[in-house]
Chain A
Amino acid sequence: MVAWQKKDLLGLENLTAEEIELILSTAESFKEVTTREIKKVPALRGKTVVNLFYEPSTRTRVSFEVAAKRLSADVINIATETSSVKKGETLIDTGKNIQALKADILVVRHSASGACVTLARHLGISVINAGDGWHEHPTQALLDIFTLKEKLGKIKGLKVSIVGDIAHSRVARSNIWGLSKLGAQVTVCAPKMLIPPGIEKMGAGVTCNIDQALKDADAVNVLRMQFERDEGEAFPNQLEYFKQFGITTERLKSLKKNIVVMHPGPLNRGIEISSEVADGANSVILEQVTNGIAVRMAVLYLVSGATTK
Chain B
Amino acid sequence: MKLLIKGGRIVDPANKRDEAGDILLEGARISKVAKNIRCAGAKIIDAKGKVVMPGLVDMHVHLRQPGLEDKETVATGTQAALKGGVTSVLAMPNTTPTIDCPESAELLKKIVQKSAKASVYICGAITEGRRGGKLTEISQLKAKGVIAISDDGASVDSDQLFLKAFKEAKRHKLLLICHSEDKALSRGGVVNLGFVSTRMGLRGISSESEYKRLQRDINLAQKAGAAVHIAHVSCKESVEIIRRAKEKGLQVTAETAPHYFALTEEEVVGFDTNMKMNPPLRSRADLEAVKKGLKCGIIDLIASDHAPHTENEKDIEFDRAAFGTIGLETELAVSITELVHMKILSWPELVRKLALNPAKILGIDKGTLGLGCDADLVIVSPEEEWIVNKEDIVSKSKNSAFLGKKLKGKVEYTICGGKIAYC
Contact = CB atoms under 8 A, between A and B. Distances in A.
Contacts of A114: 200-202, 271, 317-319
A134 B316 contact: no
Interface residues of A, number: 27
B154 to A, nearest CB: 19
Interface in B57-88: none
B204 interface: yes
Contacts of B406: none
Interface stretch (B100-108, B191-199, B361-369): B191-199
Interface in B200-217: 200-202, 204
B187 interface: yes
B134 interface: no
A224 B317 CA distance: 25
A198 B206 CA distance: 13
Main secondary structure of the interface of B (DSSP, over half): loop
A118 B199 contact: no
B317 A112 contact: yes
Contacts of B244: none
Contacts of A133: 201-202, 319
A201 B196 CA distance: 10
A118 B270 CA distance: 9
Of the listed residues A110, A115, A232, the one surrounded by the most CB atoms of chain B closer than 10 A to its CB is A115
A234 to B, nearest CB: 15
B316 A118 contact: yes
Nearest to A172: B201
Contacts of B198: 167, 196-199, 202
A92 interface: yes
Given A117-B270, A198-B194, A91 B199 contact: no
A275 B385 CA distance: 66
A136 B201 CA distance: 8
Contacts of B201: 113-114, 132-136, 170, 173
B312 interface: yes
Nearest to B190: A113
B183 to A, nearest CB: 12
A90 interface: yes
Given A134-B201, A201-B195, A202-B199, A113 B316 contact: no
B320 interface: yes
A13 interface: yes
A170 B198 CA distance: 10
A118 B204 contact: no
B200 A113 contact: yes
A48 B380 CA distance: 56
Of the listed residues B187, B193, B202, the one surrounded by the most CB atoms of chain A closer than 10 A to its CB is B202
Contact of A134 (B193, B195, B202): B202
Nearest to B195: A198
Contacts of B319: 112-114, 133
B320 A112 contact: yes
Nearest to A195: B198
B331 to A, nearest CB: 28
A91 B317 contact: yes
Interface string A96-136: 00000000000000101111011000100000000011111
Nearest to B273: A118
Contact of A198 (B199, B202, B312): B199
A118 B197 contact: no
Interface string B274-318: 000000000000000000000000000000000000001001111
A90 B312 contact: yes
A194 to B, nearest CB: 12
Given A114-B202, A117-B270, A134-B202, A91 B316 contact: yes
Contact of B195 (A136, A170, A197): A197
A92 B316 contact: yes
B359 to A, nearest CB: 41
A199 B271 CA distance: 19
A202 B196 CA distance: 10
A138 to B, nearest CB: 13
Contacts of B194: 197-198
Contacts of A167: 198
A92 B315 contact: yes
Contacts of B197: 196-197
A90 B316 contact: yes
B312 to A, nearest CB: 7
A114 B187 CA distance: 19
Interface in B163-190: 187
Contacts of B187: 232
A134 B271 CA distance: 13
Given A118-B318, A201-B195, A113 B312 contact: no
Nearest to A170: B201
A113 B203 CA distance: 9
B199 A117 contact: no
A165 to B, nearest CB: 12
A135 B201 CA distance: 4
B11 to A, nearest CB: 42
B155 to A, nearest CB: 19
B2 to A, nearest CB: 52
B266 to A, nearest CB: 12
Nearest to A202: B199
A237 B201 CA distance: 24
Nearest to A201: B195
Interface in A111-169: 112-115, 117-118, 122, 132-136, 167
18 contacts: A90-B316, A92-B315, A110-B317, A112-B317, A112-B318, A112-B320, A113-B201, A114-B202, A117-B270, A118-B316, A132-B201, A133-B202, A135-B200, A196-B204, A197-B198, A198-B195, A199-B198, A202-B198
Closest CB pairs A-B (n = 8): A198-B195, A134-B201, A114-B271, A135-B201, A112-B317, A196-B198, A113-B201, A112-B319
Given A112-B319, A115-B318, A122-B315, 5 more contacts: A91-B317, A134-B201, A196-B204, A198-B198, A199-B198
